[in-house]
Amino acid sequence: MVIVMRENATEQQIQDVTSKLHEFGLNVHKVVGTQRTILGAIGDVSNVDHRAFKLMDGVFEVHRISEPYKLAGRIFHAEDTIIRVGDAVFGGNEVTVIAGPCSIESAEQLLTIAKAVKAAGAKVLRGGAFKPRTSPYAFQGLGVDGLKLLKEVSIECKIPTVSEVMRESQLDLVAEYVDILQVGARNMQNFPLLIEIGKTRKPVLLKRGMSARIEELLMAAEYIMAGGNYQIILCERGIRTFENYTRNTLDLSAIPVVKKLSHLPIIADPSHGTGLRNKVAPMARAAVAAGADGLLIEVHHDPEHALSDGPQSLLPQQFVSLMEQVRMIASAIGRKIE
């Protein structure tokens, strides 16, 4: 942390800031310039709230120079993390696609979609059993019956699965049936849930909260990693902005930003990111071009009658052509989609 004092800061004010830094157990490196004095704090600042210094008399500005996410950041872990789930690889050179319906609705629905997405090249099947719905009157998911269907289809189609866990009390149950635990956007900062997931050794798909900054996403990953679970796939799924033509604004710039700051893989979800079927393919192509390690795409064979997110679900045939397009883009940037 670096504290820049005001030009007219008094010796007493500089001394007060220095003493407060010492109280935190920090050493102080003082640089006296012609205009200003700068105090460099040396030591562990992870428990120091830099705002306390901003409020002190004579202080001009305070800069943090180390990132608070030690495990998720690249500083202590320069190489990309690679997560393998069955045949699916997240991170490294591959671009891996997760696809399936928003909600698991029936055995027939799930099997039809699973066969279609697998044939087109999806490596992981998604399907919600516990659904976080804005309305308490909307379809809430099939619960454990949905998880059982997901497991059956996973075995039949030989494809690993991901499904959302909404609360701590469901964790053991969901973990029993799926290969990857999904933390939804609305739960990205459910810290008790993150802590419990950190105790498991299951790969996690951690979706960015709709109002979360990139640093908050990385700190959410840090919560899970602090418990010893390092297998985290981050997901950009759109954030709230003033624009309401699309459901959310898919923040594509988050992809290169995260790739620089963190070694964890990051995928993009243009389905929730746009909320509109005809915007999914363009944003999927852009996400792969921007360096995403994968995609999450909602697919439904009868979206008109889907119990959730029909308008953003691709028809199987549309998913096939999306896969063809993103394959070309991946190869143009030296990556591959198996």
**List of residues contacting Mn ion (CB under 5 A):** 102, 309
Q: Is 125 in the site for ligand PEP (CB under 6 A)?
A: no
Single out the residue of 25, 33, 132, 228 in contact with ligand PEP (rule: CB under 6 A).
Answer: 132
Q: Is 247 in the site for ligand PEP (CB under 6 A)?
A: no
Give CA torsion, residues 295, 117, 301, 154, to 10 deg.
-110
Rounded alpha-carbon distances, angstroms, from residue 187 to 40, 184, 275: 37, 5, 19
Closer Cβ to ligand PEP, 62 or 233, answer by number: 233
What is the residue whose two structure tokens read 């030690």? 70
**Segment near ligand PEP (CB under 6 A); pick from 79-87, 166-174, 183-191, 327-335:** 183-191
Exposed e or buried b per residue across 191-230, where buried means at least 16 C-beta atoms within 10 angstroms of its C-beta: eebbebbbebebbbbbbbbbebebeebbbbbbbbbeeebb
Q: Is 180 in the site for ligand PEP (CB under 6 A)?
A: no
Q: How far is CA 51 from the centre of its chain?
A: 27
The DSSP element (H or E) to which 323 belongs, if any, is helix 316-332
Q: Are 179 and 142 in contact (CB under 8 A)?
A: no
CA distance 14 to 30: 10
Single out the residue of 118, 247, 263, 272 in contact with ligand PEP (rule: CB under 6 A).
Answer: 272
Q: Is 256 in the site for ligand PEP (CB under 6 A)?
A: no
Please report how close the Cβ of residue 270 comes to ligand PEP at its closest, in angstroms: 11
Q: With left for phi above 0 and alpha for psi between -120 and 50, is residue 153 left, alpha or beta?
A: alpha
CA distance 206 to 181: 8
Please report how close the Cβ of residue 162 comes to ligand PEP at its closest, in angstroms: 9
Closer Cβ to ligand PEP, 37 or 190, answer by number: 190
Please report how close the Cβ of residue 58 comes to ligand PEP at its closest, in angstroms: 45
CA distance 239 to 272: 10
Q: Are 49 and 11 in contact (CB under 8 A)?
A: no
CA distance 127 to 162: 7
Q: Are 273 and 237 in contact (CB under 8 A)?
A: yes
Q: Is 184 in the site for ligand PEP (CB under 6 A)?
A: yes
Smallest CA-to-CA distance from 281 within 267, 265, 291, 295 is with 295
Return the residues of window 45-84 that contact ligand PEP according to CB under 6 A. none
Q: Are 104 and 128 in contact (CB under 8 A)?
A: yes
- Contacted by 207, from Mn ion, ligand PEP, none: CB < 5 to 8 Å by type: ligand PEP
Single out the residue of 118, 123, 237, 327 in contact with ligand PEP (rule: CB under 6 A).
Answer: 237
- Contacted by 300, from Mn ion, ligand PEP, none: CB < 5 to 8 Å by type: none
**Segment near ligand PEP (CB under 6 A); pick from 17-25, 70-78, 85-93, 181-189:** 181-189
Closer Cβ to ligand PEP, 184 or 316, answer by number: 184
Closer Cβ to Mn ion, 101 or 203, answer by number: 101
**Segment near ligand PEP (CB under 6 A); pick from 31-39, 141-149, 169-177, 178-186:** 178-186
Closer Cβ to ligand PEP, 115 or 186, answer by number: 186
Return the residues of window 147-176 that contact ligand PEP according to CB under 6 A. 164
- Contacted by 237, from ligand PEP, Mn ion, none: CB < 5 to 8 Å by type: ligand PEP
Give me the residue whose beta carbon is nearest to ligand PEP: 184
Binding residues for ligand PEP (CB under 6 A): 102, 128, 132, 164, 184-186, 207, 237, 272
